[in-house]
């Protein structure tokens, strides 16, 4: 008579562990609303913009995913915002499950954005922008005394 009770207890224990694991995964993914293929990235950027600025409407914008750079679990990409096409950057953080969340939005005047980023113990200079009028032939910088 004890055999069925032990089997039932084990089955209930395994079921409880599986439910807890599924709940933990769901809770972990919740702060990462961007799909792995980034198909809903524009909607998530708009949500983040509206929440951070307390506004009801979003100015028109264009994401430049083709200009994205990924270092570690973070991705930087350029975007243009508003009628003046203010240039900025969007920062995404990737979760262990391959989903993303928007961790940074910025934009302003000018044609270039630069930032020094550290990843895996190395420093990287991220430099991106647009060459309106095609008047820029090259760019040079010095990082830690090394010219590039």
Provide φ and ψ at 117, rounded to 5°: -125, 140
Summarised one tens digit per residue, pLDDT across range 87-130 is 999 999 999 889 999 999 999 888 889 898 999 898 888 988 88
> How would DSSP label each residue in 75-117?
EEEEEEETTTTEEEEEEEEE-TTS-EEEEEEEEESSSEEEEEE
Assign 126 to helix, strand or coil: strand
CA dist 123 → 31, 116, 118, 126, 146 (Å): 28, 7, 4, 10, 12
Token pair in block for residue 61: 């914008």
Work out the percent of the chain whose per-residue pLDDT is above 90.
Answer: 43
pTM: 0.77
């Amino acid at each position: 008579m004890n055999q069925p009770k032990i089997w039932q207890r084990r089955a209930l224990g395994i079921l409880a562990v599986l439910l807890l694991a599924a709940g933990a995964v769901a809770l972990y993914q919740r702060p990462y609303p961007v799909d792995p293929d980034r198909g809903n990235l524009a909607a998530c950027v708009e949500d983040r913009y509206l929440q951070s600025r307390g506004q009801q409407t979003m100015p028109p914008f264009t994401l430049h995913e083709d200009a994205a750079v990924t270092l570690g679990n973070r991705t930087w990409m350029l975007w243009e915002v508003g009628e003046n096409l203010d240039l900025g950057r969007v920062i995404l953080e990737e979760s262990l499950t391959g989903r993303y969340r928007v961790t940074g939005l910025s934009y302003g005047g000018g044609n270039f954005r630069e930032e020094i980023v550290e990843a895996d113990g190395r420093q990287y200079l991220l430099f991106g922008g647009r060459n309106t009028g095609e008047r820029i032939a090259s760019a040079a910088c010095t990082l830690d005394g090394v010219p590039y």
